[in-house]
Structures are given as C-alpha cells and as structure tokens.
Amino acid sequence: MRRAILLSAIFSLVILGSAVDGEATPKKRLDEATQVCRILTFQNSGWASEGSRIFTESCKSCHTRDNDRGATFLHSESKTMAAWNRVFYEKYPQCAKSGQWDRLSAEDLRKLNDYLFRNAANTYNPNDADDCG
C-alpha cells in the first residue's frame, strides 16, 4: 500500500513536472480590444523595451517588494499570459479603477501588455533558441 502511494506520488510529480515546464516565448499576442495580432520581438517587448520601461516607471513605483502603498509585489512572472491579457482588457485592478493608469495612453498600455505577456510565467524555455541565444 505504502509503495503504491509512493509510486503514485512520483508518477504525479513527473506528470506535473512536465506540465509546468516553460512554453517557448510567445511570438505574437492577439490584442482582444483591438483584434490586432501584435508581433513580439525582443526589441519591442523584451526587458530593454519601451513596455519594460513603462512598467518600471509607472507600475513599479508602487508594486515593489515591501512597499508602503498597499500594493502586492508584481513582476512579469507574477501572472500567466492569459492573466496579463485579462488585466489590461478588463482593467479590473483597484489602481486602474482609481485612476493610476490614466496618464498612460492606450498604446502605452498595449506595449506594457506586450512586455508582460512575452515575459509572463511559463514563457521561458531553455530549449528554445530564442530564449537561449
């Protein structure tokens, strides 16, 4: 019995392990609001992109580790690709509703969405040439 439990635990670890393996970095993103397929490259959505800069300047002003603004720590890997799309499509966060995003243009928000989507949780795959070299 014990052995069966151990074996099934090992088995589910193997299955889970393969499920959480990173997918490759996405090459495009369908922007639901505009129905435009946005092509993602390192230049326009990598960590040196404009979207990354907007995130640092306009979001990390609050969402840093141990901040005193009551904001959770956020980085691109805090959410999956689908979850980041939902953040920007629905604009449900409290800070979006209270006007903290107002000075960003619609295009700035799309660039920010591109950056966070491209670098979201599970998007790093060491076997993908794009991620490795």
Binding stretches for ligand HEC (CB under 6 A): 58-59, 61-63, 69-72, 74, 87, 93-95, 100-101, 104
Alpha-carbon gap, residue 111 to 90, rounded angstroms? 16
CB-nearer residue toward ligand HEC: 8 or 72: 72
Indicate the residue among 78 and 125 with the shorter CB distance to ligand HEC.
78
Q: Report, in Å, the least distance between residue 22 CB and ligand HEC.
A: 21
Choose between 17 and 70: whose C-beta lies nearer to ligand HEC: 70
CB 72 to ligand HEC: min, Å: 4
**Buried b or exposed e, range 17-37, using 16+ CB within 10 angstroms:** eeeeeeeebbeebebeeeeee
Nearest CB to ligand HEC, comparing residues 6 and 69: 69
Nearest in space to 122 (alpha carbons), one of 89, 79, 63: 79
- Residue 29 CB, shortest distance to ligand HEC, in Å, is 15
What angle is formed at CA 108 by the lines to CA 103 and CA 114, rounded to 5 degrees? 140
Whether the CB-CB separation of 26 and 118 falls below 8 Å is answered with yes
Shortest separation between residue 98's beta carbon and ligand HEC, angstroms: 8
